[in-house]
Chains A and B, each alone.
Chain A
């Protein structure tokens, strides 16, 4: 069934299948989605592991991501260079984590990285303010935003350092029943 394709070696496909939550068919489908973003840049033969990176603008224009307020952060977190320019590996990794089969802890880890805008491994108040503003498109007043951020820190901060560490975040996600169903991109 899958032996007719010449894009990947069998070894590569096996590796992808082990490392992501996708089947071989889905991996090939995702490869074609990736290629459709820039057919002239992406070769049809990945057996030699070409070093192809698609710029963030192309990734951000995908229909699954273009209306997402966090698309830039998602691309930055999953890209190798941290700027949002993704290789095929990053692309597959991103959709694998965001698929419905990924477990809660894995998603929580990446969600933490997405919401950590300044990359200091803590979600501090400024990160929270940016998150809330992105969620509401800056239509809440600054006082309301501040109140909401204070409430979030009150609820989730376990070790009382005024910001959320990964442990605080994961602990809070356990109590957020909607997380698994909302942190999910269908592709």
Chain B
């Protein structure tokens, strides 16, 4: 039973583990730490021989005690690593024990069981409600988790936009529509600021004969008949409506809805990113492509399709080979001479300058395009009026330039990054970062150029701006901004459709029917590139957030747009794409996607907040005409609250509250950072201790086997 220990001749290599493992298995098996290994099946297998008598007791390990003394809720039966027969026996024992309980304890056990049951039922019901669940599962099975993470992200965006649009419709659009339909009285509000006569004039509707084309034009650019509708800011009244016993303050509702929409999105994204972060478990030594992760968690057990399986084999092989090569490369790089290193750094510096200059050039083009477009369309005697196609082209000029820049510049980035000779993981990161910056910054440039047009570059004394406080070329500047965002949204969708129809489908057809052409073979079949597609989504969502204050229906349009994109992308995935050779790591990227989305939200909050607090609202249109700033409505509303509420809100908004709060939060943050630092050093210490304990164990077992001879 104790196992004959044959201690052979001392091996020349002092490999403790292998020599000992061969010679004294039974000793290791008697160690308490091995008791955690559950015994499986009825037959006594290799290691069970030493513990024949202990089968009964080994089945009841420390953390699953059945008996009257154990009152805590044990781990549910299904989570125990035992075979079903054992679980049935355990269940029987548990029930017997439960039947012996009485009174309070019995009630508690019953309640816990009912609660668990209810929770599982609720989980089942929730899983039925989840949208597109079967589609996502199918995609996961055929294309892997990397591509599925994109569609998961898209589904999240659809849901977020849908709930947000419910919010907007419920508080802004539906009340307005109801009030109009019921012909309720609008109580006018006194004009606080005396306005220049020229600033109040605003009439966007077309006069005279309107041709058919102009309707299509208006639909695509948001002007004409579309301008004075619920779609844009300019339509809403600046008065309250009295009905029943209270008055519904339309401007206040408008402002607070926009504010809470952004806040709600922020909270949801932060909550989801914390959830993703916990799941991706960023530890201090988790490298992007650790070997054990690839070997043990690399095979996707859910793959069913034969071609997907072949591809998975290939991609695992490819990844392991890449990692080994990168390792070898890194060793070679470390042996570079100083001279080589210097030349490389100079080269990298120059290429980074090139990158910056490309970005600068792109941004300048966007700025020029926006200014030109606004000027051309805004002036009454512009040469393009009347020629619809030209007018449409000019209206969409900013969108066109942004899209062209976003198509061409990443290709150039791809070439540049090859020359920079970074290690592969860093290469991916820096390419992604550059693309993100390009996308979001081009939107920022568009907004800045709009701002400079509207506020005459911040100069209130400019000839255009001195009458109204903003440029008189924009009688209703919020609507103009809203129109610009509306155009960007439509154009984004249009471009996606066009690219799909004219690039992806032809590519697939050509590659399938002309397989011998060498050029086509080089180009190859389409691959579904997850990062660039995700950036497209983030860009679209940022546009929606930016325009939400000026174009309340934008979330609704965005929901519809994303639903369309889901089905279009699914179509192109199945019809045109082959699965990628390099699998995209889903887990760590989920958090990255949400981070980029959060960046987009931050960027889009700036124009909204700036317009709310600083810019003077248009005097001729919108719910804030007559107010010096949009936020004034809220101050007025607060002044109508009871005195204590007013004082409380004033205190909360004042510096006396903000500065101590800021200090407190900083202190808390430093404390948490210190705590995290101390935990990580404790973990390091424990790891070292574990290693030493292992060595102790081997030493002692060796001694015991020697002594027992």
Contacts and interface: CB of A to CB of B under 8 A. Distances in A.
Interface of A: 15-16, 18-21, 23, 63-64, 67-70, 77, 80-82, 89-90, 92-93, 96, 98, 102-103, 105-106, 109-111, 113, 115, 119-122, 124, 128, 131-132, 135-137, 139-140, 144, 147-148, 151-152, 155-156, 158-163, 166-167, 169, 172-186
Contact of B587 (A96, A151, A181): A181
Contact of A181 (B41, B145, B286, B313): B145
Contacts of B84: 16, 19-20, 89-90, 92-93
B296 interface: yes
B88 A162 contact: no
A167 to B, nearest CB: 7
A147 B324 contact: yes
B38 A19 contact: no
Contacts of A182: 145, 297-302
Given A115-B296, A135-B316, A67 B695 contact: no
A63 B298 contact: no
B280 interface: yes
A177 B281 contact: yes
A161 B304 contact: no
A144 B34 CA distance: 32
8 contacts: A93-B83, A120-B21, A144-B320, A148-B291, A148-B324, A177-B293, A179-B293, A182-B299
B46 interface: yes
B324 A144 contact: yes
B18 A119 contact: no
Contacts of A70: 299, 301
Contacts of A152: 291-292, 295-296
Contacts of B570: none
Interface string B542-575: 0000000000000000000000000000000000
B236 to A, nearest CB: 47
Counting chain B CB atoms within 10 Å of each CB, the highest count among A16, A166, A176 belongs to A176
Given A82-B41, A119-B46, A152-B295, A158 B300 contact: no
Nearest to B148: A181
A181 B584 CA distance: 13
Interface stretch (B73-81, B98-106, B611-619): B73-81
A112 to B, nearest CB: 9
Contacts of A68: 299, 301, 303, 309
B88 A128 contact: no
B271 to A, nearest CB: 19
Interface stretch (B482-490, B499-507, B632-640, B686-694): B686-694
A177 B279 contact: yes
Contacts of A122: 21
B382 interface: no
Contacts of B16: 161-162
A184 B141 CA distance: 11
Interface size class of B (residues with CB under 8 A): 35 or more
A185 to B, nearest CB: 5
Contacts of B306: 67
A167 B33 contact: yes
Contact of A173 (B33, B297, B313): B297
Nearest to A15: B88
Contacts of B47: 121
Nearest to B46: A119
Interface in B1-58: 15-18, 20-21, 25, 29, 33-34, 36-38, 40-43, 45-47
A169 B120 CA distance: 30
B81 A173 contact: no
B585 interface: yes
B208 to A, nearest CB: 63
B348 interface: no
B317 A19 contact: no
Given A92-B84, A163-B21, A167-B33, 5 more contacts: A120-B46, A160-B17, A166-B37, A181-B145, A182-B298
Interface of B: 15-18, 20-21, 25, 29, 33-34, 36-38, 40-43, 45-47, 76-81, 83-85, 87-88, 91, 120, 124, 137, 141, 145, 279-281, 283, 285-286, 290-293, 295-304, 306, 309, 313, 316-317, 320-321, 324, 585-588, 687, 690-691, 693-695, 697-698
Contact of B690 (A102, A158, A183): A158
A77 B298 CA distance: 20
Counting chain A CB atoms within 10 Å of each CB, the highest count among B76, B120, B293, B695 belongs to B293
A89 B291 contact: no
Contact of B17 (A90, A161, A186): A161
B158 to A, nearest CB: 22
Contacts of A131: 295-296
Task: Give me the 8 closest cross-chain CB pairs, A-B, nearest first.
Answer: A159-B694, A161-B17, A162-B17, A177-B587, A89-B84, A179-B297, A19-B87, A67-B309
Contacts of B34: 121
Contacts of A121: 29, 34, 37, 47
A108 to B, nearest CB: 9
A177 B280 contact: yes
A173 to B, nearest CB: 7
Nearest to B695: A160
B25 to A, nearest CB: 7
A163 B17 CA distance: 8
Counting chain B CB atoms within 10 Å of each CB, the highest count among A177, A183, A184 belongs to A177
Given A128-B295, A159-B697, A160-B695, A90 B290 contact: no
Nearest to B41: A80
Contact of B91 (A18, A80, A106, A160): A18
Contacts of B303: 67-68
Contact of B296 (A98, A102, A111): A111
B320 A155 contact: no
B77 A186 contact: no
A72 to B, nearest CB: 14
Contacts of A163: 17-18, 21
B87 A80 contact: no
B292 A109 contact: no
A22 to B, nearest CB: 9
A156 B293 CA distance: 10
B324 A159 contact: no
Nearest to A182: B300
A96 B296 contact: no
Contacts of B297: 173, 176-179, 182-183
Nearest to A25: B124
Nearest to B305: A67
Contacts of B285: 175
Contacts of B283: 175
A92 to B, nearest CB: 7
A128 B294 CA distance: 12
Contact of B281 (A19, A64, A102, A175): A175
B301 A184 contact: yes
A40 B647 CA distance: 82
A121 to B, nearest CB: 6
A179 B292 contact: no
Given A140-B320, A158-B690, A158-B694, A186 B21 contact: no
Nearest to B328: A147
Nearest to A26: B124
Nearest to A119: B46
